[in-house]
Amino acid sequence: MSGDPASRGKSAAPEPLLADFLNLLAAERGAAKNTLDAYRRDLADYLAHLRARGRGPLDAAIDDIRDHLAALAQAELKPASAARKLSAIRQFHRFLAAEEHRSDDPAALLEGPRQGRRLPKILTVEQVDLLLRVAREGLDDPARPRDDDLLSAKRAACLLEVLYASGLRVSELVSLPLSAAKLAEKSVAQGGGFLTIKGKGGRERLAPLTPAARAAILSYRELLLELHPGAARQKWLFPSEGESGHLSRQVFARELKFLAAAAGLPPAKVSPHVLRHAFASHLLQNGADLRIVQELLGHADIATTQIYTHVLDERLKAMVRDLHPLNDE
């Protein structure tokens, strides 16, 4: 066998190389499971494309990658999705070169698809208030049966209150531990409270709980234990019979669509991620520092948070319009 790194690697199967790459992302970068799953899917598609051309990752050329990207474009994949897939391919080939599985990096000179600045979808403060009012309707009606229908309504309202109060990722929200209920009970007595959240990459941060969110947790928890005493032995705040043991993201997203429809809002406009955007945008509208919002959202890089600066731009325009001494309009 040749001593050249590229020649040495050509006999290696792509699956172990992909596994090694994913293990590196998990170990050295602390990539979350959802991130690893996305890389696995994107790179599996790429490797399948190479196999169809009789090639592999160790002898792929830049034209092979371009053909794959062209096929994605022909399938009318959104530019953001295509850019994500290209990013995965670039990182994979960078890994192969760094580990001396091959001597070159065919993806290094590729340009990604052009993307416009995509602003996050957000709801106005009034729309969120409306959504919260609809979620709270009838929850304290003494004539309403204390059954699983009421429990589902209280759970949906609780999830919404906590999400808008804290800006959690939906995966963080549905997997809150039972200790969140204990903290809510303690903080009601003490007049404050923050959740400790372990987010992407194992990074910990504090997430605030408003009085309304704390009260919603306690009200939901009280009815849950009344109807299902066994829930006291569960480790999750929102237990479920599913494989994970806690409520799924899909169930909450569906419940949120129902609430949106009941509030007269377009269901397509409302999702857990949109509520997270609303949390950040409304804080900035009210004068919060961008660095503080970065911390609350759990963004490792402030560049990720800067997508919300369009809110600051509008506020600055309003300040110049209303406060500048030479503005006579």
Catalytic residue among 10, 84, 273, 310: 273
Q: Is 299 a catalytic residue?
A: yes
Strand, helix or coil at 194?
A: strand
Phi, psi of 92 (to 5 degrees): -65, -45
Catalytic residue among 136, 200, 257, 315: 200
Catalytic residue among 68, 101, 155, 169: 169
Q: Which two tokens stand for residue 200?
A: 């992407």
Give the CA distances from residue 2 to residues 103, 282, 315, in Å, rounded to whole numbers and listed in that order.
13, 61, 64
Strand, helix or coil at 204?
A: strand
Instruction: Name the helix (H) or strand (E) containing 273.
Output: helix 272-285
Phi, psi of 196 (to 5 degrees): -95, 115
* Closest C-alpha to 307, from 143, 132, 115: 115
Q: Is 276 a catalytic residue?
A: yes
Long-range contacts made by residues 244-250, C-beta under 8 angstroms, separation at least 24? Answer: 244/175, 246/174, 246/175, 247/155, 247/159, 247/174, 248/174, 249/170, 249/171, 249/174
Q: Is 273 a catalytic residue?
A: yes
Q: Are 267 and 261 in contact (CB under 8 A)?
A: yes
Instruction: Say how far apart CA 165 and CA 162 lie, in whole Å.
Output: 5
Q: What are the DSSP calls for 283-328, one per residue?
A: HHHTT--HHHHHHHHT-SSHHHHGGGHHHHHHHHHHHHHHH-TT--
Instruction: Say how far apart CA 28 and CA 47 lie, in whole Å.
Output: 23
- Around 325, how many Cα atoms within 13 Å sit in the side-chain half-sphere? 0
Q: Is 200 a catalytic residue?
A: yes
Name the residues annotated as catalytic.
169, 200, 273, 276, 299, 308
